[in-house]
Amino acid sequence: MIHSSKPSRLKADLNRTIPRLTIALIITAAFVVIEAAAGIFANSLALLTDAAHNFTDVIALGLSWYALRLTSQPANSSKTYGYHRAGILVALVNSTTLVLIALGIFYEAYRRLLEPPEVKPDVLIGVGLAAIAVNLVTAMLVRRGSQDDLNLRSASVHLMGDVYSSGGAVLAGFLIIFTQAYWIDPLISILMGLIILYNAWGIVRETVDILLESTPQDLDIQSLVDDIKNISGVLGVHDLHVWSLTRSLRTMSAHILTNDVPISAGAQIQEQINDLVYHRYRVGHATLQLECVDCEPDELYCDINTDKEPLLQ
């Protein structure tokens, strides 16, 4: 059962989010060219790091925009769940590129720490301040709704990473003016890389959990089972599965043991369970199979490989 209010709300959210994402994409793409040129002119790794990160933001925002368009498409015979997982795949790609960028920053910073080149701190500060303004605007455009959408969250982390990077570049510029210590530029880049890596790793871990169809981390299975058993007419629960299609769209399937009751009574039990898991556990799609004979209620989790003929010889 899917509660009808949820798909309509999701569609409305998409219609509001896509235009904001488009604006953020255009602003970021324009600024990448400006910042890369400034980084080359100032000979600053911090600025070039930020420009490279901004360039990946263009890719990330483009992929996120495309994933949102896909997500809005209805389910069909070849995609019976629709395209909700498109956003998860994009989040995995975006977060993986962030990890690779951080590793590249560490390598280049190490080279520059060995032989620090001269940089132009005034250009570093000026472009850095402009980058902070641009990145904050685009991050705010994307951030709304990112709490429940890993796709948007990965794009938001990209953009907020740029805010940190730009702030680091400005700090490096001021410190170089007062100390003439050019090694500060690559050192700041390393600190920015660590922040990027930390945020990216959290998204990678969560997207992998969703793709492996793991139980949502904030959902207590035993509490769920106990609540279902407390519903009048339910004698037991087994073959239970709870997983996520996306961060905000949870699904569940279970076999429910009942007495030998009429279909109308069974339908009432199903409706009570659906309302329970939707309102208390945020499970929007529950598939329930009622059973009264020849079942094994003690086996809460089923092994799909048990007593099955192999598909391939």
DSSP string over 108-138:
HHHHHHHSPPP--HHHHHHHHHHHHHHHHHH
For the segment 81-109, the average pLDDT, to the nearest whole number, is 82
- State the Cα–Cα distance between residues 182 and 42, nearest whole angstrom: 12
* Predicted local distance difference test score (pLDDT) of residue 226: 92
* Predicted local distance difference test score (pLDDT) of residue 60: 76
CA torsion sign for 174, 175, 181, 183 is negative
- Whether the full predicted model's pTM is greater than 0.85, yes or no, is no
Map out the domains of the chain with their CATH numbers.
5-211 (1.20.1510.10), 221-291 (3.30.70.1350)
For the segment 103-125, the average pLDDT, to the nearest whole number, is 82
Question: What pLDDT digit, counting tens, does each position of 222-259 carry?
Answer: 999 999 999 988 888 888 999 988 777 889 999 998 88
Tell me which residue of 11, 2, 38 sits closest to 169, measured CA to CA: 38
For the segment 175-183, the average pLDDT, to the nearest whole number, is 85
DSSP secondary structure letter of residue 257: E
Which two tokens mark 179? 């100390």
Backbone angles phi, psi at 203, to 5 degrees: -70, -40
